[in-house]
Structure 1
Amino acid sequence: MRTPPRTKGRLPYNMAALWRTCRRRFPGPSRLCRTGRAFGSGENEYDLVVVGGGSGGLACAKEASQFGKKVAVLDYVDPSPKGTKWGLGGTCVNVGCIPKKLMHQAALLGGLLKDAQRYGWNTSHPISHDWSTLAKAVQNYVKSLNWGHRVQLQDKRVKYFNLKGCFLDAHTIRAVGKGSKEVSCLVSHQVICLSASVGSNLGLRIISGAREYGITSDDLFWLKKSPGKTLVVGASYVSLECAGFLTGLGLDATVMMRSIPLRGFDQQMASLVTDYMEAHGTRFLKKCSPTKVKKTDHGRLRVTWKFAESGKEKSDEFDTVMWAVGRAPDTKTLNLEVAGVKTNAETGKILVDARETTSVPHIYAIGDITEGRPELTPTAIAAGKCLARRLFGQSAELMDYDNVPTTVFTPLEYGCVGLSEETATDRFGSENIEVYHAFYKPLEFTVAEREAAQCYIKMVCLRQEEQRILGLHFIGPNAGEVIQGFALGIKCGATYSQMMKTVGIHPTCAEEVTKLHITKRSGADPTVTGC
């Protein structure tokens, strides 16, 4: 089956032209299933049904189809409380990694335009940013990815249904769409893969006006107009990333944190991230909790908050209030109790073993919806592929969740792989841990005269023999690109002595990792001087 024509290896960017092309190539309603359409004339038995069209579910479905299995994907996105809707691909594609990174890049470009003057470029005219231009470009690209996923499923002969799935029993899935239309399918080989979406968790019913007037990151990425002066409530990476690029785009952004930033990450690194943001224009309200949101007569939002230590209240007006207080698994609508699938009563996430098996032997779960798994797109994709190979390809390989690298795309990026210093200390004891560290200044910051006080590298090692590396943490430009390269070595058990034998590429930021020699234990100044 042929796919729509591609331009330089990519889907055509113009969505209208792409739609017209695909309609010509794939005529008739039977090609792309629509809401309420049956699973086929009596052919409603599948080897694998994936509930949820996120990264993990799509990867699992496509991999299973490679083994000649009959596969279906059910995916239906309930609009956010503000009515925001999106297409196939899950959180990452629509309201996560992709739009976030593009808006982060837009903010970085604004900083580079300011640097350009010191590098001799004439940028004397006022620099301004147009939100609607950025939003339209980002949203069009996301839509092209939505369509691309549909085409890929069709190429792999995977049935896609824009329907919401839930259990009728342990072997039957019910799928419901608009207009109360519903169909059901039987999983003949007793294999059901859950990759259900994770919805935004406001959890703010006790705060007056929170749901009525607030938005989430799901809505932020699809706004047509600038959010203006914005309050971002939360201390998660989503909160800091969004506040960071809003500030970088020239908007007034404030972060309200009840507790510590970037919980679960190395806290020294988290403090450096927020210090940099604060020094570069993002306002922080620390140890504060909002108590009410009220719309004023002139249309702005007046937010009142309380300081945890003093109990005093204060308020200010904002154009937009965004809640970034976490996401909750959308498991209640799955009717899991009918199938016998157990969840964590506190988190609502599905309990699985090392083989991604739930409490029901023929039902599996992968991705963000599972308890104790990192909420990361690459891990969900890898887990989905591994699962399909075990089920249909005679593979015994399990997904390895150790030493998974990740990056927080704040204005000064933070990338890491392995254990934080706190976790390593708790696990092995401080006397058995050696921490090498360095404050460095990227060469590109020098001519631009940028502040680099928070550019920092930390390597956590065991204090025995060749000192196996337990964790690597990097704050600086292109942190994700730097950590990705070192992640392979750490995954393979790299040691400090091996790292010191690695020749760095000069002059780069990543090179500084191969030159770490000052330990925290020594108390010596870790500031890098000279080449």
Structure 2
Amino acid sequence: MSYDFDLFVIGAGSGGIAAARRAAEYGAKVGISEFNRLGGTCVNRGCVPKKLMVYASHFPDNFKAASGYGWTVGETSFNWEKMITAVNNEVTRLNGIYQKMLDNSQVKLFNGYAQLIDSHTIAIGEEKVTADKILIAVGGKPTKPDTITGIEHAMTSDDIFHLQKQPKRIVIIGGGYIGVEFACILNGLGSEVTQVIRGDKILKGFDEDIREEIQTAMQHKGIRIITNCDCDHMKIEPIETGLQITIKSLDNHEEIIVADAVSLAATGRIPNLENLGLENTKVEVVKGAIAVGEKSQTAEANIYAIGDCTDRINLTPVAIKEGRAFADHFYGDKSYRMSYDNVPTAVFSSPEACTVGLTETEARERYGEAVKVYRSKFRPMYYTLPDLPEKTLMKLIVDTNTDKVVGAHMVGDDAAEIIQGVAIAVNMGATKADFDATVAIHPSSAEEFVTMR
């Protein structure tokens, strides 16, 4: 049977565009649809604008440190509108680059919401096209818990990039990495931040030392973290001076906080499957996500899915790698290579954290008493002259049966830049002896990873 396209990709985020371009490079005729701006969550409402805001939030600490090095920094002020305009201008520039990449790859873009009519037919508005293979890469979206009274007055992480005025007082509900990052960003920019979490620590699922180190540092920087809260039964009410948030603890203690804005960024994200037409195919949805097999194949033989809509590891580089692995295999006649082991991830909090491999708890569950942990905590050289209390934590987790490093964790400046290199070693199966045999770069913080005893 003849089709309009060899491959049609639904969703032009990072993963979808990566798959479309790679397939086109192999000679496939490719179409792609997107109802929003090109680049998906990462470029428009996530990684890129958020990281730019992280940079902006670091300047007050930099000004403070400068005096220790002989610099006199005069009166400073922050202009939210100027910053947010610059961030969004950069996003617009990146949208244009993505458009050029699609054009150069001869991938045909359809602007509009795509819906599956059957296993080979896609409708984009009034237009219908057919494809031999279909790749779903529609990503995810933030959710608001409907158990909270007045939830309609709250915003999500998507909204914060378009605020015209800086919130002077903000309550962030949830202790996931998105909530933690925005708490640190807004605190650094001068907002009064209160973070409300269910448990006793932020960043559930991360190594315990990382959780403790970041939470303590956030509190020292002035972020108020309210723990052990019944986040499902809060109340948000508009009042003359902003929003009134009623918070209940698990032991029924009640507290009222007044704020300008509430961000619910960390209460969860879900696959963006609404009105996709999956019911017109054999594609299965399990626990709100598209169910896929080893090679991203759904229950429908010719339909595949990658990225956050499959709810495996919801990271942009994972979606990109999944998309390229799909295209390499089906259009480049290469073996499908995608591993979910030892995927590094970063939290761009203040201080920054990055991790790869197993947490200490996971390692002990797997290897028992064979686990040996190496830790180093110190004040980096940068902070000695300004005499600031900033600390860096580094941690290696080793399976002594094999001497392999099965986990590496760091909290401190440039953690993501440093762990990226360490992740290569961990992924290759490097041993503690390999780390020890590596000559250190001195003076640097990174040298601690090869000098720990």
Equivalent residue for 2:157, pick from 193, 211, 217: 217
CA distance in 2, matches of 1:44, 1:245: 49
Q: Are residues 1:436 and 2:374 paired?
A: yes
Residue equivalent to 2:347: 408
1:199-256 per-position Cα deviation (integer Å, ceiling 9, x unaligned): 1111x2221111x211111010121221221111111100000010111111111111
The answer (yes or no) to whether the contact 2:194–2:226 under 8 Å persists in 1 is yes
The answer (yes or no) to whether the contact 2:168–2:190 under 8 Å persists in 1 is no
For 1:444, the aligned partner's letter is Y
CA distance in 2, matches of 1:131, 1:302: 24
Q: Are residues 1:227 and 2:167 paired?
A: yes
Residue equivalent to 1:63: 22
Residue equivalent to 1:16: none
CA distance in 2, matches of 1:316, 1:224: 23
Q: Are residues 1:514 and 2:453 paired?
A: no
Equivalent residue for 2:314, pick from 335, 355, 375: 375
Equivalent residue for 1:357, pick from 297, 302, 316: 297
| Aligned-residue offset at 1:287 | 1.1
For 1:54, the aligned partner's letter is G
Q: Are residues 1:312 and 2:265 paired?
A: no
The answer (yes or no) to whether the contact 2:292–2:305 under 8 Å persists in 1 is yes
For 1:261, the aligned partner's letter is I
Residue equivalent to 1:154: 103
Q: Are residues 1:341 and 2:283 paired?
A: yes
Query: Helix, strand or coil: the match of 1:375?
Result: coil
Residue equivalent to 2:55: 105
Equivalent residue for 2:412, pick from 476, 481, 489: 476
Equivalent residue for 1:116, pick from 48, 53, 66: 66
The answer (yes or no) to whether the contact 1:44–1:184 under 8 Å persists in 2 is no
1:449-499 per-position Cα deviation (integer Å, ceiling 9, x unaligned): 11135x21111110124x101000011100011001111111111000110
CA distance in 1, matches of 2:420, 2:324: 21
The answer (yes or no) to whether the contact 1:440–1:512 under 8 Å persists in 2 is no
CA distance in 1, matches of 2:285, 2:388: 49
| Aligned-residue offset at 1:116 | 0.7
Query: Helix, strand or coil: the match of 2:320?
Result: helix
1:159-181 per-position Cα deviation (integer Å, ceiling 9, x unaligned): 111111121111111212xxxxx
| Aligned-residue offset at 1:337 | 2.2
For 1:492, the aligned partner's letter is M
1:169-200 per-position Cα deviation (integer Å, ceiling 9, x unaligned): 11111212xxxxx211111x2x1101013111
1:75-118 per-position Cα deviation (integer Å, ceiling 9, x unaligned): 113xxxxxxxxx21011001111011111111112210111112
Query: Helix, strand or coil: the match of 1:449?
Result: coil
CA distance in 2, matches of 1:154, 1:222: 29
For 1:331, the aligned partner's letter is L
For 2:362, the aligned partner's letter is T
Task: Give TM-score scaled by structure 1 length.
Answer: 0.83
| Aligned-residue offset at 1:68 | 1.4
Mapping for residues 118-517 of structure 1, pairs under 5 Å = 118-123=68-73, 125-176=74-125, 182-187=126-131, 189=132, 191-202=133-144, 204-210=145-151, 212-259=152-199, 260-288=201-229, 289=231, 291-296=234-239, 298-308=240-250, 310-324=251-265, 325-344=267-286, 346=287, 348-371=288-311, 373-429=312-368, 431-453=369-391, 455-465=392-402, 467-517=403-453
CA distance in 2, matches of 1:492, 1:63: 26
Q: RMSD of aligned C-alpha atoms?
A: 1.3
CA distance in 1, matches of 2:383, 2:242: 38
CA distance in 2, matches of 1:424, 1:333: 42
Task: Give TM-score scaled by structure 2 length.
Answer: 0.96
CA distance in 2, matches of 1:151, 1:137: 21
| Aligned-residue offset at 1:44 | 7.2
- Structure with the bigger RCO (C-alpha within 8 Å, sep 6+) is 2
CA distance in 2, matches of 1:165, 1:405: 33
| Aligned-residue offset at 1:299 | 4.2
Query: Helix, strand or coil: the match of 1:395?
Result: coil
Unmatched runs of 5 consecutive residues or more in structure 2: none
The answer (yes or no) to whether the contact 2:346–2:354 under 8 Å persists in 1 is yes
Bigger fraction of residues in strand: 2
Number of matched residues? 448
CA distance in 1, matches of 2:50, 2:191: 16
CA distance in 2, matches of 1:508, 1:47: 51
Runs of 4+ in structure 1 off by over 6 angstroms are: none
| Aligned-residue offset at 1:262 | 1.2
